[in-house]
Amino acid sequence: MKLQRKNMLRASALGALVVSGALVLTACGSDDNTKDNGSAASKPAAGTGDVKCDDAKGKLLASGSSAQKNAVDLWVKNYMAACPGVEVNYKSSSSGEGIVAFNQGTVGFAGSDSALKPEQVEESKKICTGGQGIDLPMVGGPIALGFNVAGVDKLTLDAPTIANIFNDKIKKWDDEAIKKLNPGVTLPGTAIQHFHRSEDSGTTENLGKYLKAAAGDAWPHEAAKKWPAPGGLGASGSAGVATQVKQVDGSIGYFELSYASAQNIKTVDLNTGAAAPVKATGENASKAIAAAKISGTGNDLALKLDYATKAEGAYPIVLVTYEVVCDKGNKAETLPTVKSFLNYTASDAGQKVLLDNGYAPIPAEINAKVREIIASLA
C-alpha cells in the first residue's frame, strides 16, 4: 500500500506538471493561460477561418474529460486569437468531475467520454431551466496502449491477452501468450507493471467496453468509470498514466494517442481478427467511429460504437468525447460564447485540428447534426 500511495502521489504531481506545463491552457485558476512554452498548443495551428465571434464576450468556464484536453487547448488558442476579449478556460479533470460541475451550474459546458446516464439527465433539469443536458459528440480518437519494455520496439496484443495483463494474470513480458502474438520479437522476462486511472474516468469506461466486447471471459468486469480490476497502480489523469509508463521499464498503460505522441511512447498494435494488426492512429479510429449509430433521442446525439469490430484497418479501442450542454435554459450571459465556441469546434477547420493532432474527426453526417443542434441552443 505504501508503494502504491507513493506512486499515485508521484503520478499526480508529475501528471499535474505535464498538464499545466506542456500545454498552453491549464485548469481553472491558472495564473497564465498564454505563456508560449514550445508545446503543440503554443504553435500556430492551421484552420482558424471558421471562427465566428458573434456576440461572444467575457469568460466561459468549462471542465471535464482529460482525453480531449490537447484538442481543446488548440481550439481555445485559435478561438481566443480570433475573438479578443473573450476568455475560454477549460479545466481538465475527468468526465465524472465535469458532469458534476455541469449539474452544479458552475460551467457553461462539460466534456465527457461517456454519454449522460438517465439520472444525470434528470439532475441536469434543475440547471437547464425548461430543458435538459444533451450530448454533442465533438472529439473522437484512439485509446492507445502505451508500453515501455527495454529492447522491444514493436508489440502486438489481442483483447484476451490485454485483459489478462490488466487482470494481473499475465505477469511477465515473455509469457507464452504474448510470445505467440509476437513471433520474431525477443521479449524479456521483465515483470509487467500496469497502470490505470486512479479517478473515475470515461477513458477507463471505454477501455472496459472494448474488453467486455472483445475479450470474452478473460474480462469479467462491467464497464465503469472506476477501474475494476485487481493489482496495478493508479495515476491521475491520462497525463499521469503516460508519465508513469514513460518512466518505468516493463510498464503498460492506457491513454489517448496524443499523450503517447507528446512523450514518444510506443503503442501496441491490436490483433482484432482482421488480416493484419491495426495501429493506433486517428485515421484507423475514424474507421471504427464511422460505423457508430446514434442511440440518443431528440437533440441528444449519444453514439453506440462497435468495440468488437474486425473491419480491416479499424482500431476498436476508441472513445468519443461529448460536449454536454443544456438544450434549453442556458445562462444568458454565457450562451452566446458557448454557441460561438462550439460552432468553431464543430466546423471543418475545428475538426481538421483533430486529425492533425492524433485525434479522429466526428463523421461528417453526424457532425452536420451537431452543428444544427448548436444553432438551436437556447
Span 215-224, average pLDDT: 96
Percent of the chain residues topping a pLDDT of 70: 87
From the number of C-beta atoms within 10 Å of its C-beta (0-12, 13-18, 19+), residue 58 rates as exposed
Beta bridge partners of 157: 270
- At 154, the amino acid letter reads K
For 160, phi and psi rounded to 5 degrees?
A: -60, -40
Per-residue pLDDT at 22 exceeds 60: no
Which value, to the nearest 10 degrees, does the dihedral of the CA atoms of residues 39, 42, 44, 48 take?
120
Beta bridge partners of 140: 320, 360
Per-residue pLDDT at 376 exceeds 70: yes
Q: What distance, in Å, lies between the first and last C-alpha atoms of the chain?
A: 50
Q: What are the tens digits of pLDDT across the range 37-48?
A: 333 333 334 445
Residue 300 CA from chain centroid, whole number: 20
Q: Write down the pLDDT at residue 128.
A: 98
Q: How far apart are CA 47 and CA 24, in angstroms?
A: 18
CB contact set of 72 (below 8 Å; sequence gap of 6+): 25, 62, 90, 92, 111
CA atoms within a 13 Å half-sphere pointing along the CA-CB vector of 269: 16
Q: What are the tens digits of pLDDT across the range 237-271?
A: 999 999 999 999 999 999 999 899 999 999 999 99
Q: Write down the pLDDT at residue 48.
A: 57
> Is residue 72 within 8 Å of residue 90, measured between CB atoms?
yes
Instruction: Write down how long the chain is.
Output: 378
Span 204-215, average pLDDT: 96
- At 234, the amino acid letter reads G
> Is residue 239 within 8 Å of residue 339, measured between CB atoms?
no
Q: Who has greater pLDDT, 25 or 324?
A: 324
Instruction: Tell if the pTM clears 0.85, that is, is over it.
Output: no
Q: Write down the pLDDT at residue 347.
A: 96
Q: What are the tens digits of pLDDT across the range 196-209?
A: 999 988 899 999 99
Q: What are the tens digits of pLDDT across the range 302-347?
A: 999 999 999 999 999 999 999 999 999 999 999 999 999 999 999 9
Give residue 89's pLDDT band: very low, low, confident or very high (50, 70, 90). Answer: very high
> Of 259, 152, 176, 166, whose CA–CA distance to 218 is shortest?
166
Q: What are the tens digits of pLDDT across the range 282-301?
A: 999 989 998 899 999 999 99
Span 109-130, average pLDDT: 96
Percent of the chain residues topping a pLDDT of 90: 78
| 3 state DSSP class of 88 | strand
From the number of C-beta atoms within 10 Å of its C-beta (0-12, 13-18, 19+), residue 44 rates as exposed
Q: Write down the pLDDT at residue 188.
A: 98
